């Protein structure tokens, strides 16, 4: 099938390459010349495991191309909308880019074309887009994307489910999407056909649920810190109940990234417009932010009441491992706030150094973990990359000035670190009593 993917950011770039791997011919269109050039040369402008290979393979077939010219979508019969919907100051989604793209696309549509929305939008937007698209004799489907950064290729090609939002009775739209995703559906992926509003909602509701689950366990972490309970065992025991499940019950510094924080704010805002009070999601966010403050409070306490002039090393800046994304990153937020408090912050991350450097001057960035650790008076582990969870605590101990580590992701083997002489403060665990230097030896 001839397909266009409009918007070649994270979602669009992955989707375009994935559609070629399913046997389709794809043109990706984006207004960003540099991005288009880069993708056309097989270079992915962000870190996503597996995507460079998929892109290179796609380009080699001759069935994948990129362009900045919207007119180039004319030969395609199916058009995916993968345009970003960033957050406005009020927390609502900014739909400007999406509506501009739709306005440019509509005159190029041929009767019978299918436009497929993949962007995350507030409920009600698809119906508005459908009207414009249908005025050109084309049809609309809403097909939300649930991919996770770091697993985007796998999530796109082997999703947990497919959701098609279509006009009631639009069997042709369903049949077209079934053709596009034939290989995925053949492998047994559940597929649900619904209306536009439900399809839009599945996406934001899923993200709101995931955020709530994380904040729930982080609220329990606060209780565990105060009561001496063990948060990891609590999560494991809760997770044994299949109605609850263990996934997304990892306590720590909380959620960040380009989706969860933005989507819950946007959902609250859309709820207000609809007269529905989704205020509990504000609480979800405030629990999330409290975890960052907790790390800062622990750091200040450990350093004797002030971080001014103290050398703090931060391991991990990305919002999660296997990503170079620092959008709304809890780790980078903590780093920034420690700098504001007067600390001398040294930081390292396996992939996010450049993205962090661009957005946050004022930190001392190191590509090398030992360089970052040298002379530290306090170490914070804020993203659970394997490079840090697998770090030799003896080696780390030989580099720092003071063996105290705050484990912001509950990811270190605290017994091994303690054996190497470290004082380990893990979120969700009571703060251990300070031992005298003699006792430590």
Extract the annotated binding site.
30, 35, 85, 120, 146-149, 203, 248-252, 256, 262, 320, 327
Distance in angstroms (rounded) separating the CA atoms of residues 147 and 134 = 28
The DSSP code sequence of 12-70 is HHHHHHHHHHTT-EEEEE-S-HHHHHHHHTT--SS--TTHHHHHHHHHHTT-EEEES-G
Quick check: 207 binds ligand UDX (CB under 6 A)? yes
Annotated catalytic residue 259: yes
* Min separation Cβ 196 and ligand UDX, Å: 19
Cβ neighbourhood burial of 441 (10 Å; 0-12, 13-18, 19+): exposed
Nearer to ligand UDX, 9 or 59 (CB): 9
Nearer to ligand UDX, 257 or 350 (CB): 257
Binding-site residue numbers for NAD(+) are: 30, 35, 85, 120, 149, 262, 327
Binding residue count for ligand UDX, defined by CB under 6 A = 19
Stretch that binds ligand UDX, among 87-95, 144-152, 301-309, 357-365 (CB under 6 A): 144-152
* Min separation Cβ 32 and ligand UDX, Å: 21
Nearer to ligand UDX, 28 or 254 (CB): 254
According to CB under 6 A, which residues from 257 to 296 bind ligand UDX? 257, 259-260
Query: What are φ and ψ of residue 204, in 5° steps?
Result: -70, -35
Distance in angstroms (rounded) separating the CA atoms of residues 336 and 153 = 32
Q: Which of 3, 123, 217, 259 is catalytic?
A: 259
Quick check: 149 binds ligand UDX (CB under 6 A)? yes
Strands of the sheet with 404-407, listed across from one edge: 364-365, 344-348, 311-315, 378-381, 404-407, 423-426
* Min separation Cβ 208 and ligand UDX, Å: 11
Quick check: 125 binds ligand UDX (CB under 6 A)? no
Nearer to ligand UDX, 262 or 270 (CB): 262
Query: What are φ and ψ of residue 374, in 5° steps?
Result: -55, 125
* Min separation Cβ 408 and ligand UDX, Å: 10
**Judged by CB under 6 A, which of 215, 250, 360, 404 binds ligand UDX?**
250
* Min separation Cβ 119 and ligand UDX, Å: 11
Quick check: 410 binds ligand UDX (CB under 6 A)? no
Neighbours of 139 (CB within 10 A): 21
- Tokens for 387? 């490079």
Distance in angstroms (rounded) separating the CA atoms of residues 391 and 313 = 14
Cβ neighbourhood burial of 46 (10 Å; 0-12, 13-18, 19+): middle
* Min separation Cβ 156 and ligand UDX, Å: 10
Using CA atoms, how far residue 1 sits from 4, 72, 293, in Å, is 10, 15, 51
Distance in angstroms (rounded) separating the CA atoms of residues 94 and 122 = 10
DSSP lists the bridge partners of residue 80 as 5, 116
**Judged by CB under 6 A, which of 8, 13, 27, 214 binds ligand UDX?**
214
Nearer to ligand UDX, 320 or 423 (CB): 320
Distance in angstroms (rounded) separating the CA atoms of residues 396 and 315 = 12
Chain centre to alpha carbon of residue 90: 21
Nearer to ligand UDX, 258 or 393 (CB): 258
Nearer to ligand UDX, 113 or 407 (CB): 407
CA torsion 148-153-158-163 (nearest 10°) is 60
According to CB under 6 A, which residues from 25 to 54 bind ligand UDX? none
Neighbours of 289 (CB within 10 A): 14
Distance in angstroms (rounded) separating the CA atoms of residues 211 and 327 = 16
Nearest to 30 by CA among 15, 19, 20, 18: 15
Quick check: 252 binds ligand UDX (CB under 6 A)? yes
Stretch that binds ligand UDX, among 127-135, 207-215, 372-380, 421-429 (CB under 6 A): 207-215
**Judged by CB under 6 A, which of 142, 319, 385, 417 binds ligand UDX?**
319
Quick check: 249 binds ligand UDX (CB under 6 A)? yes
Quick check: 350 binds ligand UDX (CB under 6 A)? no
* Min separation Cβ 62 and ligand UDX, Å: 30
**Judged by CB under 6 A, which of 248, 272, 278, 375 binds ligand UDX?**
248
Nearer to ligand UDX, 243 or 441 (CB): 243
Strands of the sheet with 2-6, listed across from one edge: 64-67, 25-29, 2-6, 78-81, 114-117, 139-142, 162-166, 191-194
Stretch that binds ligand UDX, among 73-81, 123-131, 135-143, 146-154 (CB under 6 A): 146-154
Applying CB under 6 A, which residues contact ligand UDX? 146-149, 207, 210, 214, 248-250, 252, 254-257, 259-260, 319-320
Active site residues: 259
């Amino acid at each position: 099938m001839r397909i266009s993917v409009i918007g070649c950011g994270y979602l669009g770039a992955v989707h375009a390459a994935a559609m070629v791997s399913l046997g389709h011919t794809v043109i990706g269109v984006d207004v960003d010349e540099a991005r288009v050039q880069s993708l056309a040369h097989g270079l992915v402008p962000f870190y996503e495991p597996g995507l460079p290979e998929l892109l290179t393979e796609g380009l080699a077939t001759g069935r994948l191309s990129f362009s900045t010219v919207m007119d180039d979508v004319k030969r395609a019969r199916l058009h995916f909308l993968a345009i970003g919907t960033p957050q406005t100051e009020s927390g609502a989604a900014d739909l400007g880019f999406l509506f501009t793209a739709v306005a440019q696309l509509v005159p190029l549509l041929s009767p019978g074309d299918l436009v497929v929305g993949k962007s995350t939008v507030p409920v009600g937007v698809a119906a508005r887009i459908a009207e414009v698209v249908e005025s050109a004799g084309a049809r609309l489907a809403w097909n939300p994307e649930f991919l996770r950064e770091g697993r985007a290729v796998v999530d796109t090609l082997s999703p947990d489910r497919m959701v098609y939002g279509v006009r009631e009775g639009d069997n042709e739209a369903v049949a077209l999407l079934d053709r596009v995703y034939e290989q995925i559906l053949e492998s047994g992926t559940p597929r649900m056909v619904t209306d536009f509003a439900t399809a839009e909602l599945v996406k934001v509701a899923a993200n709101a649920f995931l955020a709530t689950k994380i904040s729930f366990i982080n609220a329990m972490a606060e209780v565990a810190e105060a009561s001496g309970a063990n948060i990891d065992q609590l999560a494991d025991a809760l997770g044994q109940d299949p109605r609850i499940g263990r996934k997304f019950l990892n306590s720590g510094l909380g959620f960040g990234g380009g989706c969860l924080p933005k989507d819950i704010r946007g959902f609250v805002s859309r709820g207000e417009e609809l007269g529905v009070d989704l205020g509990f999601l504000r609480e979800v966010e405030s629990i999330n932010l409290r975890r960052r403050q907790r790390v800062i409070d622990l750091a200040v306490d450990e350093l004797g009441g002030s971080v001014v002039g103290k050398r703090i090393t931060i391991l991990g800046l990305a919002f999660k491992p296997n990503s170079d994304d620092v959008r709304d990153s809890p780790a980078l937020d903590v780093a920034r706030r420690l700098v504001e408090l007067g600390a001398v912050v040294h930081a390292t991350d396996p992939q996010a150094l450049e993205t962090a450097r661009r957005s946050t001057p004022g930190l001392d960035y190191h590509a090398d973990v030992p360089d970052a650790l040298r002379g530290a008076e306090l170490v914070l582990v804020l993203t659970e990359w394997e490079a840090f969870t697998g770090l030799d605590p003896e080696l780390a101990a030989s580099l720092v000035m003071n063996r105290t580590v705050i484990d912001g992701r509950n990811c270190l083997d605290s017994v091994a670190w303690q054996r190497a002489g470290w004082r380990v403060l893990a979120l969700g665990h009571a703060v251990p009593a300070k031992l005298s230097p003699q006792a430590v030896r």
